[in-house]
Structure 1
Amino acid sequence: MVPAIHTADAQTSYCIQSLKFGATNLTNRPYSMFVADPSMGGFYYVTLTWQ
């Protein structure tokens, strides 16, 4: 059985050249979604888009 988990996700945008910051699992606490599944930690990203 897989124990219950709680995660916190966030994203913010700044509209000069469409700059985005985001994060999944802010606490970086590893967890599994299925039995015998590899653990997942935090995922952080920056996106820059221009035209």
Structure 2
Amino acid sequence: MPQMAPMNWTMLFITFCMIFLLFNSLNYFMFSYPVNTQSNIKTNKFTMNWKW
């Protein structure tokens, strides 16, 4: 039916947008960085002992 074509295109566009947003959000939130258990921060303790 030609009268229903705009409604079908609108539903197709909404469905595509919802699937696209769902895929992007799942791809964004399911990504996890590898956990680094070792601390690579080295602290240097440098004491200045003034010899007066």
Instruction: Give the alignment's TM-score, normalised by structure 1.
Output: 0.24
The structure with the largest helix share of the pair is 2
Instruction: Give the alignment's TM-score, normalised by structure 2.
Output: 0.24
**Higher RCO (C-alpha 8 Å, min separation 6):** 1
The structure with the largest strand share of the pair is 1
